[in-house]
Amino acid sequence: MDFTDPRLGDLDRILRDSERTMRELEQAMQEMSRLTGTGENRAGTVTARVDSESRPIEVRISARAMRLDPDELGQHVVEAVRAAQEDHERQARELMAFAPAPDSSALGTFRRDVEEMQDAFRREMGERMDGARRRRQDDF
């Protein structure tokens, strides 16, 4: 096998790129775990905050909203929580926007190159084994 094959340099580059992407993804996941979203209803009478899993962790209701009937107040709370969840989702999308879409053609080319190198290695090892067997037979 020819270890000066230029495709081995591609392998090194792909591995470095993969390691860098994994570090970036790990950092993004850490940031994602600290992400919160905030929102309020249209009337501005209820504000809400959600945690990194988009679960409500805080709801603030204004004095004006406390005078509403229970059903209407419930609608205001739901509206504020949904706005907070949408804010969280927007931030998460922005945070993950760095992730490049996988290049399936480059991956396919890489896979073919690796398979070709494996085949070349098997052929060379087979030839060496055949040569060793012939030499052994010649010695007897």
For 71-129, how does the pLDDT look when each residue is reduced to its tens digit (9 = 90+)?
999 999 999 999 999 999 999 888 877 655 555 666 677 677 777 778 787 888 888 88
d(CA 47, CA 100): 35
Per residue in 4-51, pLDDT tens?
Answer: 555 556 677 777 877 887 887 788 788 888 999 999 999 999 999 999
d(CA 59, CA 49): 7
- Token pair for residue 84? 């907070």
d(CA 15, CA 11): 6
b/e burial code for range 116-130 (CB count within 10 A of at least 16 → b): ebeeeeeeeeeeeee
Q: Report whether pLDDT(68) > 90.
A: yes
Residue 10 CA, chain-centre distance (Å), reads 22
pTM of the full predicted structure?
Answer: 0.58
140 versus 36: the higher-pLDDT residue is: 36
Q: Report whether pLDDT(138) > 90.
A: no
- Torsion of Cα atoms, 5 then 11 then 12 then 15, to 10°: -170
Q: Report whether pLDDT(1) > 50.
A: no
d(CA 92, CA 136): 66
How much is the pLDDT for 43?
96
